[in-house]
Amino acid sequence: MSQMDPNSESLVSARDLHFDYWLDLVPVQALRGVSLEVREAEHVVLAGPSGSGKSTLLSLMGLIESPQTGSLWFGGRSVAQLDERAANRIRRHEIGFVFQSFQLFPTLTAAENVEYFLIQQGLDAARRRERVRWALEAVGLWERRDHRPLELSGGQRQRVAIARAAAKKPRLILADEPTASLDQKTGAEIIELLENLNKTLGTTLILATHDPMVLSRAPRVVHLQDGLIHQVRSAQQKKERG
Amino acid sequence: MNTQVWARAFWVLKLSVRNLMRQPRRTAAVMLTVGVGSASLFLFQGFNAGIMNQYRDNSIHARYGHGQLHVKGYRDTVYEKPWEHWIEDPSRILASLRKVAHVNQVFPRVEFFGLLTNGQITVSGRGTGVDAVEEARFFQTLNVEEGKMLDSEPDGILLGKGLATALHLRPGDRVTLLGNTVNGSLNGADLTVTGIFHTGSKEFDDVAFRIPLLQAQALLDTPRVESIALGLDSHESWPQVATVLAREFPDLSATEFAVLDKIYYQNSVDWLKSQFGVIRSIILLIVVLGIFNIVATAILERRSEIGNLRANGDSKLGILALLVSEATLIGVVASVLGIALAWLINSTVLAQGILMPPAPGLTRQFYVRMELDWNMALLTFALGAACCWIAAVIAGWRVTRMPIGDALRSN
């Protein structure tokens, strides 16, 4: 197997991915041959009902899981060829995560939560401070930088999580159900923030969701069902269908 | 590079300290386990040391002092005429002994057999001639049931309980002591009973009596003494004193009390040490398992957070450092608090000590104080902290090896 992605325009390239896991002693076929190309600076939404495989696909593209069969390429590198250190390095520098449950450190302030992963990137204190300010201003929370997660609303916590992901200046942001814990208005604001990052910085954005509001705004929606890609709709196709 | 390492270390420490406050109940549970475990272990070690030291002191003050001097070879041989092998010129030796560093008191003694009669009944007995005034200040565990100690009565006699019963004697009564001089001729002394004692050993109390040393020497017609017991400033001085004695009194041999009292003291101590060793191992096992369990549980509860750290590129080693740093911090703080708690309990609730029944060879109950010292404290501290550390390494190693996806899906 070549180490170079045959489709070098793609940031993420998945070919015939399979992934099984065990859930309470029952084998689950989460992915049954998924192929997908995501280009640099693209905004893609993975949609589908619970258990359709969208979160698993997101995990594979974020190098959290390794494909069992099939091939996966990230930034032109074959994921199968990466050792643990190399995968860590990619996750540390090139991928930002936004989870449904925010995953913030409750004992750190908003600013400290954003700063923590910048330490891992090896940035000096001055650059870290600069990035933290930029990221928190981008999500409109600079004024609340000294608040801890418990002192923030759900929407504000998700903004901190986005700021944390954005501060890393990653090539790719993966967001798993980022609006699921939020009301519709706050959810729309969160999606707007993510879209801005995509538009202004060219950060590739892949979201997994079944929120209709998010789906309606997405330029490209990949529908998954039973571990297979059921349908791919672009903005153009959506427009044509009215 | 160094700056990065320091920045990382600073953040690990910062996060560790903050995480202690994150779930106060969980932190309190871990700290309680480690603290109470450390305190229990510390107190038990203190109790061990206390009971051993108290038993040793009781044994020393019961009969033999810290050790005894005899003529070389006297203890190992049975002589037809033992008095020929007693210590000559005891006054000079006693004077020299009193000058030896750490020797506070000297107790010259002779032992002999004699007949005691009240005019109607005659009973044989085994007598000890002692410096009564000096001995009364050191040997405080003799149980005088009636009357008083010999003190300075020149013609006094202290009778064992069985002997006094057999002769129908009470304090103030007169009794005649008959014995052989070292030359074989018969000699006698009229004495007044000052008191009646018991030691707990019926066989001994049925035959034993005590008279002043001068009276015994006059009866035996010898200026010699059989042995000289020593009272030191501390039992720890014995090796030093024994070295000096061996150098300055080459004709005499010095024997420590533990050897003289091997059957009662040394065997009891060895037996108790083995027993305490087993109990300590059990306590240690319970404490260690308790700490391991609670630290491991606290770490395993955080799988999702650990998954997040790993998803964002934190290395297994980096996460392990964080978990170990937190657990070590808890271990250090809780061990210190546990040790402080033990010290507080010891100086308040247990200030009097714990009343113990008479030990083997002794007749009196005695209070055992927990003898806590810095070495024990250090050992307990190290154990508490090390347990947390090891538990965190084991649990942390397990949890960081989990697939990231599984860790994130936890909780």
Contacts of A92 in chain B (CB under 8 A): 312-314
Q: What is the band of B300 on the pLDDT scale with cuts at 50, 70, 90?
A: confident
The answer to whether the Cβ–Cβ distance between B22 and A106 falls below 8 Å is yes
Residue with tokens 């308790």: B290
C-alpha closest to that of B235 among B141, B104, B370, B96: B104
Q: Is the dihedral of CA B220, B223, B225, B228 positive or negative?
A: positive
Q: What is the mean pLDDT of residues B32-50?
A: 90
Q: What is the band of A233 on the pLDDT scale with cuts at 50, 70, 90?
A: confident
Q: What is the mean pLDDT of residues A144-149?
A: 95
What is the pLDDT at residue A2?
A: 42
Encode pLDDT of B349-362 as tens digits: 999 888 988 776 66
Q: B314 at the A interface (CB within 8 A)?
A: yes
- What tokens does B273 get? 């040490």
- Residue A228: phi and psi, rounded to 5, are -130, 155
- What tokens does A47 get? 């949609």
Encode pLDDT of B216-245 as tens digits: 999 999 999 999 999 999 999 999 999 999
What is the pLDDT at residue A1?
A: 41
Encode pLDDT of A203-230 as tens digits: 999 999 988 899 988 999 999 999 999 8
| Higher per-residue confidence, B59 vs B176 | B176
Encode pLDDT of B79-110 as tens digits: 888 889 999 999 999 999 999 999 999 999 99
Dist CA B411 CA B394 (whole Å): 20
- Which positions ≥6 away from B78 have C-beta within 8 Å? none
Question: Does residue B19 surpass a pLDDT of 90?
Answer: no
Q: What is the band of A164 on the pLDDT scale with cuts at 50, 70, 90?
A: very high
Encode pLDDT of A110-128 as tens digits: 999 999 989 888 898 999 9
- What tokens does B39 get? 């305190």
Task: Tally the C-alpha atoms within 13 A of residue B156's C-alpha that lie toward its C-beta.
Answer: 20
Of B19, B315, B404, the CB nearest to A107: B19
Dist CA B285 CA A235 (whole Å): 66
Picking from B17, B304, B312, B315 by the largest number of A CB atoms within 10 A of its own CB, the best residue to mutate is B312
Question: Does residue B256 surpass a pLDDT of 70?
Answer: yes
Question: Does residue A33 surpass a pLDDT of 90?
Answer: yes
Picking from A54, A63, A88, A101 by the largest number of B CB atoms within 10 A of its own CB, the best residue to mutate is A88
Cβ–Cβ pairs < 8 A, chains A and B: 65
- DSSP-derived 3-state class of residue B406: helix
Residue B8 distance to chain A (closest CA, Å): 6
Question: Does residue B197 surpass a pLDDT of 60?
Answer: yes
Please provide the average confidence, as pLDDT, over all residues in chain B. 89
Residue B403 distance to chain A (closest CA, Å): 7
Task: Tally the C-alpha atoms within 13 A of residue A60's C-alpha that lie toward its C-beta.
Answer: 32
Encode pLDDT of B109-168 as tens digits: 999 999 999 989 999 999 999 998 888 888 877 788 899 888 778 899 999 999 999 999
ipTM of this predicted structure: 0.86
Q: What is the mean pLDDT of residues A57-74?
A: 92
The answer to whether the Cβ–Cβ distance between A103 and B18 falls below 8 Å is no
CA distances, A236 to each of A198, A240, B261 (Å) = 19, 6, 104
Task: Please name each of the domains of chain A with its CATH number.
Answer: 40-66+83-241 (3.40.50.300)
**Are the beta carbons of B129 and B216 closer than 8 angstroms?**
yes
Dist CA A114 CA A134 (whole Å): 11
CB atoms within 10 A of CB B212: 23
Task: Tally the C-alpha atoms within 13 A of residue A85's C-alpha that lie toward its C-beta.
Answer: 1
What is the pLDDT at residue A27?
A: 87
What is the pLDDT at residue A9?
A: 74
Dist CA A172 CA A42 (whole Å): 9
The type of residue at B3 is T
* Helix H or strand E encompassing B344: helix B316-347
CB atoms within 10 A of CB A220: 18
CA distances, B31 to each of B24, B74, B392 (Å) = 10, 60, 14
- Residue B46: phi and psi, rounded to 5, are -65, -40
